[in-house]
């Protein structure tokens, strides 16, 4: 590999890498600023940068104003969006868990990303916003040409980094920000307006993200998705700085930019840089980053509001409701067309992916944004073995589930050190690793199919052909019901109690003799196995397997829906699958298009987390229990009848009660 490297590209790629590092530094500084003051990891930072960059595009490219005016408009827009997020969706969650606030930022990510696509289009054919000329100068003593745009990016990044550090250290307001970051309650007692400080941190951090978004438009595809994903690189740089040190954040960003660019010298695979980014995220989180006591305090209750606490219910009524629901699930699709029968089967398969989050997030409290990556293992194993090597479907499906379990356990190993928000970052990196590298053409074509898709038909089960839409639907319904029953029994078993103990406190669970390592890895394996089963079933359901169906956006959407419907309830799996599949279908019968669906999901997610953090289905179940309370376990003993007066005795001779 070293012999085939084109070393003549090294100087030019060094300049490009440092330029990218400067852009990542700007976004990362905004993340650090927001986190230090408010304790929130803003997953919407990339979306804010993207939307602000499109504001600059609208002002400078579409309307014809100078690029500097567009940059100013982007800064104003970014600051305004940051203020709205903090004032109206983060501040009402005061006292809630950190995970709740992160979920709100994910809702904003979906809203801003979809809104930008609806306004400016999803394509990458947008002219970049050039603040200065791309022509430049030759670096003294070398033959390396540095563009003025690259030079400006590096100077702006370093200037804002050192300027922010100076403000935090040498100004009165910076002292107030550091006081709020250390202890908001104590800062308020000293007369500091905590809400104002937090609002300013969100405005300043989002404005820096806006600058980063404008500067990066000439460097990557100028579209809503690519610009949004810049946040994962910014997260890596911020974590290298341990979410506190601005100088180390800048160093980490520069190192990341070079590490992402240099692989192009050795490989023509466009996803090689993303593989390096994934490795750096894993290295930073699992080895370099060690959460301190303050961080542990912030994330220790991250998933507590999603704990599935078994409650007593009216068993006869519950059984009747389940029986009626299953009956409706069997009869109603029989009356529909084959198209809607296929959609119903898809909804059950997606419901299995939601169910996998019920196991992982609901029982153990481990958030994941890579469930479709696990599903991809099952789908591509089935596709490559059946479509590429002529295997029978059932052995391929079993092997796909086994492989998915293995990958889930591998992803769970870093989770032994991480939890809550930092595990979420790792799972995002896993999803992007699959999306941009592992399943990309040219990486592993014998598994992914390359630029083609694996094609396969529907199998037979016990001699019965599943080629018909209704027959395949009944089969998926049976698989779904068995999986739901298994997870429901798991949640009420001794194993379920141990998993909930781990969620509540790993230290307390370990003290009680629970093997935390084994059970966390088991939960990741079971969750990934359910997702892999769904992917394996999705392959014959669609008839083909392609990488586009298993991207990061799908993982993000299914996680958002799972949180909306409630990850502590197995009933949420059916509701989530139906909503994800039939929601876009319903939009086709309205003046809106399916492109509006992520925006609707994001909006519902924001409102739901504020109003009903447990989720929609658990809220319905609680209302149902109040309406149909369970019968008392021990019937009340009837009160003894009053004693009759003694016959033959006079009233005066009757016994009396003497108070002693």
Helix (H, G, I), strand (E, B) or coil at 464: strand
Question: CA dist 31 to 232, 285, 586, Å?
Answer: 11, 16, 37
Mean pLDDT on 480-506: 88
Q: In the beta sheet, which residues pair with residue 145?
A: 138
Judge contact between 559 and 371, C-beta under 8 A: yes
571 pLDDT tier (thresholds 50, 70, 90): confident
Helix (H, G, I), strand (E, B) or coil at 171: coil
pLDDT digits (tens, 9 = 90+) for 99-118: 788 889 999 999 999 999 99
Give the pLDDT score at 243: 79
% the chain with pLDDT above 90 = 34
659 pLDDT tier (thresholds 50, 70, 90): very low
78 pLDDT tier (thresholds 50, 70, 90): very high
pLDDT digits (tens, 9 = 90+) for 157-185: 888 888 888 888 888 878 888 787 777 77
pLDDT digits (tens, 9 = 90+) for 426-464: 888 888 889 888 888 888 888 988 888 899 999 999 889
User: What number of residues does the chain have?
Assistant: 660
Mean pLDDT on 58-68: 93
Q: Out of 277-291, 340-354, 402-416, give the one with best mean pLDDT.
A: 340-354
Q: Which residue has the higher pLDDT, 3 or 34?
A: 34
Cα–Cα distance measured from residue 369 to residue 421, given in angstroms and rounded to the nearest whole number: 11
Helix (H, G, I), strand (E, B) or coil at 63: coil
Nearest 5°: phi and psi at 139?
-65, 130
Give the pLDDT score at 95: 76
Judge contact between 249 and 240, C-beta under 8 A: yes
Give the pLDDT score at 641: 54
Sequence-distant (≥ 6) Cβ neighbours of residue 640 within 8 angstroms: none
Judge contact between 488 and 317, C-beta under 8 A: no
Structure tokens at 326: 């299953």
Give the pLDDT score at 317: 73
pLDDT beyond 90 at 276? no
Judge contact between 149 and 131, C-beta under 8 A: yes
- Sign, Cα dihedral of 32, 37, 42, 45: negative
pLDDT digits (tens, 9 = 90+) for 522-559: 999 999 999 999 999 999 999 989 888 898 889 988 99
405 pLDDT tier (thresholds 50, 70, 90): very high
497 pLDDT tier (thresholds 50, 70, 90): confident
Judge contact between 147 and 135, C-beta under 8 A: yes
48 pLDDT tier (thresholds 50, 70, 90): very high
Sequence-distant (≥ 6) Cβ neighbours of residue 215 within 8 angstroms: 22, 23, 26, 131, 152, 153, 156
CA atoms within 13 A on the CB side of 449: 24
Give the pLDDT score at 310: 43
Q: In the beta sheet, which residues pair with residue 461?
A: 464
Beta strands in 482-590 (DSSP E): 544-545
Cα–Cα distance measured from residue 149 to residue 151, given in angstroms and rounded to the nearest whole number: 5
Judge contact between 210 and 46, C-beta under 8 A: no
646 pLDDT tier (thresholds 50, 70, 90): very low
Give the pLDDT score at 87: 93
Give the pLDDT score at 297: 39
* H-assigned helices in 183-271: 184-189, 194-216, 224-228, 230-240, 246-261, 263-266
Question: CA dist 212 to 34, 109, 136, 219, Å?
Answer: 16, 17, 20, 11
Give the pLDDT score at 268: 64
Give the pLDDT score at 180: 79
Q: Which residue has the higher pLDDT, 538 or 292?
A: 538
493 pLDDT tier (thresholds 50, 70, 90): confident
Domains and CATH numbers, the chain: 18-233 (no CATH), 304-627 (1.10.3470)
Q: Which of 486, 493, 481, 480 is nearest to 310 (CA)?
A: 493
Give the pLDDT score at 287: 62
Structure tokens at 522: 């088991």
Cα–Cα distance measured from residue 281 to residue 590, given in angstroms and rounded to the nearest whole number: 42
Cα–Cα distance measured from residue 551 to residue 53, given in angstroms and rounded to the nearest whole number: 24
pLDDT digits (tens, 9 = 90+) for 460-492: 998 899 999 999 999 999 999 999 999 999 988
Give the pLDDT score at 648: 43
Q: Comparing 211-215, 227-231, 330-334, which segment has the lowest mean pLDDT?
A: 227-231
pLDDT beyond 90 at 206? yes
pLDDT beyond 70 at 314? no
Give the pLDDT score at 125: 77
pLDDT beyond 80 at 627? no
- The mean pLDDT of the chain is 83
Q: Comparing 312-316, 385-389, 484-488, which segment has the lowest mean pLDDT?
A: 312-316
Q: How far is CA 349 from the centre of its chain?
A: 20
Cα–Cα distance measured from residue 477 to residue 483, given in angstroms and rounded to the nearest whole number: 10
636 pLDDT tier (thresholds 50, 70, 90): low
Burial 259-283 (b: 16+ CB within 10 A, else e): bbbbbbbebebebbbbbbbbebbbe
**How many helices (H) and strands (E) in the chain?**
30, 6
- For 86-112, give the DSSP string: IIIIIGGGTTS-HHHHHHHHHHHHHHH
């Amino acid at each position: 590999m070293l012999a085939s490297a084109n070393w003549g590209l090294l100087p030019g790629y060094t300049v490009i890498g440092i330029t990218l590092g400067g852009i990542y530094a700007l976004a990362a500084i905004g993340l650090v600023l927001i986190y230090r003051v408010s304790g929130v990891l803003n997953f919407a930072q990339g979306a804010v940068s993207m939307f602000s960059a499109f504001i600059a595009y609208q002002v400078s490219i579409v309307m014809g104003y100078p690029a500097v005016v567009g940059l100013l408009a982007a800064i104003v827009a970014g600051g305004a969006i940051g203020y709205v997020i903090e004032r109206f969706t983060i501040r009402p969650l005061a006292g809630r868990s950190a995970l709740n606030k992160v979920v709100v930022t994910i809702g904003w990510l979906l809203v801003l990303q979809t809104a930008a696509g609806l306004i400016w289009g999803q394509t990458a054919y947008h002219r970049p916003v050039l603040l200065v000329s791309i022509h430049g100068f030759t670096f003294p003593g070398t033959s390396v040409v540095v563009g003025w745009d690259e030079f400006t990016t590096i100077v702006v990044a370093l200037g804002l980094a050192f300027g922010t550090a100076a403000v935090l250290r040498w100004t009165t307001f910076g002292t107030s920000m550091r006081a709020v970051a250390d202890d908001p309650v104590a800062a308020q007692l000293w007369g500091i307006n905590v809400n104002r400080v937090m609002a300013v941190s969100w405005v300043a951090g989002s404005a820096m993200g806006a600058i980063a978004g404008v500067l990066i438009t000439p460097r990557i595809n100028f579209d809503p998705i690519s610009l949004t994903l810049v946040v994962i690189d910014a997260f890596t740089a911020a974590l290298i700085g341990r979410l506190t040190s601005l100088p180390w954040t800048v160093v980490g960003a520069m190192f990341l930019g070079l590490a992402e660019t240099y692989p192009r010298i050795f490989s023509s695979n466009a996803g090689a840089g993303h593989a390096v980014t994934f490795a750096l995220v894993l290295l930073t989180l699992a080895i370099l980053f060690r959460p301190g006591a303050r961080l542990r305090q912030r994330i220790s209750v991250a998933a507590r509001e999603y704990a599935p606490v078994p409650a007593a219910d009216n068993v006869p009524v519950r059984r009747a409701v389940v029986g009626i629901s299953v009956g409706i699930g069997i009869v109603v699709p029989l009356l529909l067309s084959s198209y809607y029968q296929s959609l119903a089967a898809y909804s059950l398969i997606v419901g299995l992916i939601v169910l996998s989050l019920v196991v992982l997030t609901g029982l153990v409290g481990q958030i994941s944004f890579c469930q479709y990556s696990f599903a991809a293992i099952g789908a591509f194993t089935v596709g490559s073995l059946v479509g590429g090597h002529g295997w029978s479907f059932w052995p391929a499906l079993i092997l796909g589930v086994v492989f998915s379990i293995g990958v889930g356990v591998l992803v769970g190993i870093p989770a032994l050190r991480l939890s809550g928000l930092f595990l979420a970052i790792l799972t995002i990196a896993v999803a992007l690793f699959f999306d941009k590298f592992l399943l990309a053409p040219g990486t592993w074509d014998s598994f992914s199919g390359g630029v083609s898709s694996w094609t396969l038909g529907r199998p037979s089960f016990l001699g019965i052909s599943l080629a018909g839409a209704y027959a395949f639907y009944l089969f998926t319904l049976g698989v779904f019901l068995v999986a739901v029953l298994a997870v429901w029994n798991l949640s009420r078993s001794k194993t379920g109690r141990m998993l909930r103990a781990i969620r509540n406190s790993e230290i307390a669970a370990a003290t009680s003799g629970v093997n935390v390592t084994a059970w966390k890895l088991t939960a990741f394996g079971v969750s990934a196995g359910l997702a892999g089963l769904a992917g394996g079933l999705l392959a014959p359901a669609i008839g083909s397997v392609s990488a586009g169906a298993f991207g990061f956006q799908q993982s993000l959407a299914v996680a958002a829906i799972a949180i909306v419907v409630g990850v502590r309830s197995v009933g949420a799996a059916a509701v989530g699958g139906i909503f994800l599949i039939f929601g876009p279908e319903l939009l086709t019968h309205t003046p809106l298009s399916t492109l509006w669906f992520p925006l609707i999901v994001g909006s519902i997610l924001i409102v739901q987390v504020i109003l009903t953090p447990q989720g929609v289905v658990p809220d319905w179940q609680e209302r149902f229990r109040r309406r149909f309370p369970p019968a008392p376990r021990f019937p009340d003993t009837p009160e003894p009848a009053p004693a009759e007066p003694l016959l033959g005795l006079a009233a005066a001779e009757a016994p009396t009660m003497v108070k002693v």
